[in-house]
Structure 1
Amino acid sequence: MIEIRRLTPRKWEPSDPLVAYNNADGQVVIAGAMGRGNNSYYDRYGYKGSKEIVCIDCKEAGREVPVQLVDAKTRCKHFRHQAGEAPDGLRRYGETAEHLHGKRFIMDWARDQHHILPWSVEDEVWIPGVRLRSDVRATAASGRHLAFEVQRKPMDSKEWDHRHGGYQTAGIRDVWLWSPDVPDVVLDLPLTSVVLDMAYESLGVLVAKDSGRYRHPTAERYILSPTHYASAPLSEWSLSDAGSLVPPPGMAEFIGTSRNRPGWHNSTPIMRRWHGGHQTAGDAGGTADGRTQAVPEPHQLQSGTGSQRKCAAYRPGTGGAT
């Protein structure tokens, strides 16, 4: 059953990270699993040891910043930067219990997918060549590598270009799973940037109301600002043999097809995005694999309004693009 639910953006505040990266063995480490004393793992590699355990966010930004393990009585274990070493201005946020829950939820779902090798599903996988860390990584039977990003925090266009572009460079298909309360959700292909609602254990397509119906913001002539999402239980979604998200059949009307757009003559379902001033499209076909195909040049479309954007990431509610 598909339901329409409203996005509920809220103000987000920085929090201390629950995970870090150990340069000594190339592993992502979790604060809650670490202890001190008796020549422990943290004693050897932590802040008072070789200082190989560093902030993941800083590492992705090109800085090697050691972090310290903190075990406060009133809070769960976490890592903390030393005074003056925090990554100012990066708009990065530490991992939360909600984020950890979301990753486990997606991992369990991915392992049950017919086209996914269950032993390949891992969390917190570091990709050295492009300096990225995947929330969840998996491999399809076809050999295609997948990355799932459980996004519970806002992201600016520079960070989106680095992470989404990095996955493309590495040949990894990335799927972004946004919390419905994250402000400024990045709008991309309908089945690349979706909503993961942990409260309902559902997955949804971003939509906006236009002419009395809800459609994906790129389904009509002009790109709109998403206000809702069309949601279905995660159990009704699947992954194709190529590793693409496959929505339940009833979701097609919210994604939209090219026959609904004036000036588009291909009967194949089309999904558009704006990237770097160029309009690109993916063949939906239930797979949304991001293949580029011929689309009209902007001047071939009817004159747009302020809702027509050419940008790497469209920000709802800002009246413009970042």
Structure 2
Amino acid sequence: MQDDLLVVGFDLETRREVHIAEGPPERWKRLGYGGTGQLVCFYCFHGFEAPAGTRVPLVTRGRLGGKVRRHFAHPPGQAPAGGHGPETVWHITTKHLLAAWARSRPGADCVRLEQWTEEHDRRADVEVLLRDGTKIALEAQRKLMTDDGWRARHRDYARQGVVDVWFWRPRVHFPHVVLDEGLPVWFYSVSKREAATSLGRPHTRAHQWWQAPDLSVFGLHHPPCALDELERVTMPLAALGLGPGGAVLPEHLRKRVLDSQGEAQEEAKQRKDGEARYARAVREARDRAARAPAPLPPPPVPAGGLRCEVCRRPLDPLLVKNLRHLLC
């Protein structure tokens, strides 16, 4: 099922967006096409590819566990020509799925859609308040942003103590300044209900790499650095955790990252220990040399020059140690 075939509902009575995962299909059938008609297409009603105020009651299709996931759809013949824009569908649907995911996380205390920051300069797609007081903004970004545009939003959030977590539409280029700021990049596929991110591959172990202040980059690491080679990993959205730092990798991926970093740290320790042993051996050799007695001065040279103690003939200086010729 493609993302652009998905539809978000709008409840004319409660005046809010509705996603199919928020209730049983029997409820939506009662409120949609053939029922009260108060469940209409959000996009048509708000003027996307149709005149604003257009009311198209929705039908419910698919079934739990079936080949096609449950979803809202227009009745036959009542969809706009060409359907709704995939970017619009992705953005609205992703907001609701992120909100539902956040509500299901153990540490979440309050989750609200389309909330302004305290300074009223930024509006989060989904605002999450954790029980420890951390405020998180979940952003569903459907289009490419400039570096300056993204950095301005990120720093506005940071200034107000808000942790911003960005989920990008698949195949959309993201600003690499995100990695420069030390944030991970998340993607979300509505049709697959699947999140994706990238791990940074281990950095090249150049000369004396074990002396680097941060050894984690010599194993798999998340988030990656801006110029890293990347390894893409995918997971169900439900497998992600949510904590004070934002979205959290599933346990099996966290273990894989930590194991990789542990191997690099162990090798670095062995290298440092080897360096320390060598330095200690050099120091001990110098200490022994300093403590050794001074060599005895050479014997005085007789007035007549050096002579063999046996034959008394002149002795070459090279033989002075033995005090005799080789054949004497």
Structure (1/2) with the larger strand percentage = 1
Greater RCO (CA < 8 Å, at least 6 residues apart): 1
Instruction: Determine which structure has the larger helix proportion and give its number.
Output: 2
Alignment TM-score, normalising by the size of structure 2: 0.45
Alignment TM-score, normalising by the size of structure 1: 0.46
The structure whose Rg is larger is 2
